[in-house]
Amino acid sequence: MGIQYDEQKRMFKLDTENTTYIIGISEEGYVGHAYYGKRLGQFGGRYLMRMEEAPYTPSVNRREKNSFMDFFPMEYPTGGIGDYRESCLNVRNSAGSVASELFYESHVIEEGKPELLGLPASFGDADEVQTLRVVCTDPILDLRVTLLYSVFEKEDVITRSALVENKGEEKLYLEKVYSANLDMENREFEMVSLCGSWARERHIQRAGLHYGKQSVSSAKGESSHQEHPFIALVTPETTQSTGEVYAMHFVYSGNFIAQAERTHFDFVRMVMGINAEEFCWRLLPGECFQSPEAVMTYSDGGLGKMSRSLHDFYREHLIRSPYKYKKRPVLINNWEATYFDFDTQKLLDIAREAKKNGIEMLVMDDGWFGKRDWDDSSLGDWTVNEKKLTSGLPDLVNQVRELGLEFGIWFEPEMISRDSELYREHPDWAIQVAGREPGQSRAQYVLDISRKEVRDYACECVAKILRSAPISYVKWDMNRQLSDIGSACLPADAQGELFHRYVLGLYEMQERLVTEFPDLLLENCSGGGARFDPGMLYYSPQIWCSDDTDAIERLRIQEGTALIYPLSTMGAHVSDCPNHIVERNTPFETRGNVALAGTFGYELDITKISEEERAQIAGQVELYHKYYELIQTGDYYRIASWSDRYPWDCWEVAAKDASHALVTFVQVLAQPNMHNKNIRLCGLDAGAGYRLEGTEEVYTGEELMACGFLIRDLKGDFRSKLYHFIRE
């Protein structure tokens, strides 16, 4: 039983296989946090809410209520009533004041998990998850707030969100609605987050938690290249296999904030939710607002255990696509091969050569529509450019399929070019502030998909193309952030809703797409990895990881991504050299080995690469098919990181039944006078023997995990090798 309630103690106990989360209700009716950590056999005492400090409790000493509010470990803190730490809910009433105070009213424990209307969210049946609804009210505002906690026992995950309802007769304005809060004592925590920029997304960042607020956030209308909706607090000794981790991740694809605050009492408040910057939601009488879902997990086995919990959770309870476990075709994308300069014949030449080498799908990227010969026109004009595709799209698709390949296509449905027929006809469909010239980025504007007629147009454009030919795959791109935030259709006091309504519109569009085309393989993309977030995984089982396909730069990008996402979600391709972004030359073998730690495909002109490199493709494709199931479903272990202190990089994927394991080792920088590297494997059967494939060498699982395995005869920069250990 995952959720229990002790009526005498007025406490809730939420248990997963390895963790316990305890919530209590104070004498006044405040919902407080008592404990989160290793699983407890018993409830624990009410002292965990610090209620023994009675002089500061309002029911005992009303003259010091503010002192109590600024100290009490709240489950869902509100603004304007004396809790000077970060609030989760700020409500402005019709008189203009901001204050809200929530008191426990009731609760319900139910089997399974409810959907969140209009939002991506985790799912599970009654055998997998229980949900606690804690109903709180503000009697002054006639406001009801339901706190939702869903407990996924097997994966050690608790998801959280809040439903805010206006039960009164006056309109209210929600100026902040976060999804989760965690108050606890500081234990010299360090904060782990993911940061970067275009072409170097999700690098791991770790630093000590100082007094005050430390946050990562986005106000760009997407989760962004620069920061990521994830935060973890770790104890100082935390490594991949040791130490304690408290992590939150946000199932949302727009503006967010993830923040840790160290207070003057040396407590820590950790929050996650929609960024309050430029957010204000008008809540009319009878209306409700549902916050997106926050995913929370605790690990006492270091960052590696956290990673494996999140990987299992997302695979089993967030990704819905039929491609969750279905083998995905090895594709070749023409973007870096041709950019905008292609025609039917050039694409068919690539397809023919690709087929010879075992590649299974051709993807036609940007440039096939309107008069799109560069990036400065035609977005929104989703009609085939028959100067390039001289016999039309259906004929091209059929010719590719006759060669034995599937066909995929690129769209950017959320965008509009100034130089387009659509903009000339509907300039007001672009997001813009009335009276101001909207800023362009990549020579394009953003469509106001908060408007139904705009969504309908964009959805029908995509669907019409997909209905015209047997297309198996769509790459959905978004190449600029939002700015000049204004909608021609929202009233003045609802303009603060546009950012969130945009994201809701995006979710509706993608839901319509996967509903009409349920067998479609959808890959989301945003200038590379700017919208790689759990919200997108609900619609697409894979997301393009980064526009930087350089194998060495990808080590950091994919390490940071794999910290929280399954390898099967990471779009990764082998590209040409010198690399088009960093101009580095790396061995073709290394490019292939790094891409195998993702979806695996190609991004190059196969008709122009050297014979030596082309000859390696069939072998790489064979490796993909050989290791696909292991990489898709196995447990991920990070063994070494060159972004830390090593001149090499190493990771492992072990089958859950310990039957075999694949180790990838990359020698990033060669060093003189160095001995062979010793690496210790993980996730094996200690009592079993393991043969190193391709040799007669046999090791015990205990030996490989405790003593290690020597990496030999790997010299030179950027060299790599795969090691496959098979239980005998």
The catalytic site residues sit at 477, 547
Whole-number Å distance between alpha carbons of 408 and 398: 12
Query: CA torsion sign, 357 to 358 to 364 to 366?
Result: negative
Query: CA torsion sign, 437 to 439 to 443 to 449?
Result: negative
The C-alpha angle 182, 183, 184, rounded to 5 degrees, equals 120
Whole-number Å distance between alpha carbons of 159 and 249: 9
Closest CA to 305 of 16, 644, 725: 16
If phi > 0 it is left, if psi is from -120 to 50 it is alpha, else beta; for residue 396 that is: alpha
Whole-number Å distance between alpha carbons of 381 and 65: 61
Query: What does the block give as tokens for 441?
Result: 């980025």
Interacting residues of 421 by C-beta distance below 8 A, sequence separation 6+: 370, 380, 381
The distance of Cα 476 from the centroid of its chain, to the nearest Å, equals: 16
Give the CA radius of gyration of the chain: 27
Number of Cβ within a 10 Å radius of residue 357: 18
Type and span of the H or E element at 159: strand 157-166
Query: What does the block give as tokens for 60?
Result: 């005992």
Whole-number Å distance between alpha carbons of 339 and 353: 18
Whole-angstrom CA distances from 527 to 10, 197, 468, 481, 530 are 50, 11, 27, 10, 6
Whole-angstrom CA distances from 20 to 45, 182, 252 are 14, 14, 26
Query: Would you say 713 and 726 are in contact if contact means Cβ atoms under 8 Å apart?
Result: no
Type and span of the H or E element at 164: strand 157-166
Whole-number Å distance between alpha carbons of 628 and 296: 29
Closest CA to 183 of 258, 265, 269: 269
Query: Would you say 577 and 584 are in contact if contact means Cβ atoms under 8 Å apart?
Result: yes
Q: Which residues share a beta bridge with 267?
A: 185
Give backbone dihedrals phi and psi of 318, rounded to 5 degrees, phi first.
-130, -40
Query: Would you say 18 and 27 are in contact if contact means Cβ atoms under 8 Å apart?
Result: no
Query: Would you say 89 and 76 are in contact if contact means Cβ atoms under 8 Å apart?
Result: yes
Question: How many helical (H) and strand (E) elements, i.e. helices and strands, does the chain have?
Answer: 13, 39
Sequence length of the chain is 728
| Start-to-end CA span in the chain (Å) | 39
Interacting residues of 52 by C-beta distance below 8 A, sequence separation 6+: none
Beta strands in 209-333 (DSSP E): 212-218, 230-234, 245-251, 256-262, 267-274, 281-283, 288-290, 293-299, 331-333
